[in-house]
Amino acid sequence: MTKNTLNLKNIQKNIKPVTVLWIILIGIMLSKFITYMSTERFSEIDVSHGDIQFYGRDTCPYCVKMKGVLKESPDLYSKIEYVDIETEDGSKQFKDINASGVPHFECKSTGKSTSGFQTVPQLLNSLGLS
């Protein structure tokens, strides 16, 4: 056996189950804290429901994925109005803004818009909200 193999076996022998449990516990707490902080941050965005419009199609995989990402931040998601462009009204609204593709976002208060799948921080930055 090589020296590296022996060192790895010694390390594995010295790791106690309590240490593994602590690492797992810290990881879980850290992920909960990060989720809490990111959700809390979006409650501070000073926009009302309907100020941000999300134009999409339920048959578009990127729109579906974007909805899922937004639903992870309920405070932000509650402020977004989803416009299905496959409906008659939605199609007319989409044509009126001259957007070229979905998912597409418009923010009335900042006058900015953006298209394509994005992370929430990227979306907020593109709309001038961060």
Task: Render pLDDT for 12-63 as a digit per residue (tens, 0 to 9).
Answer: 666 777 777 888 888 888 777 666 555 445 555 666 667 899 999 999 999 9
Is the separation of the CB atoms in 107 and 130 below 8 Å? no
Q: What is the spatial distance between Cα 50 and Cα 109, in angstroms, rounded to a whole number? A: 10
Q: What is the spatial distance between Cα 110 and Cα 124, in angstroms, rounded to a whole number? A: 11
Q: Taking the CB of residue 54, how many other CB atoms lie within 10 A of it?
A: 20
Is the separation of the CB atoms in 79 and 47 below 8 Å? yes
pTM for this predicted structure: 0.65
Beta pairing class for 52-56 and 104-107? antiparallel
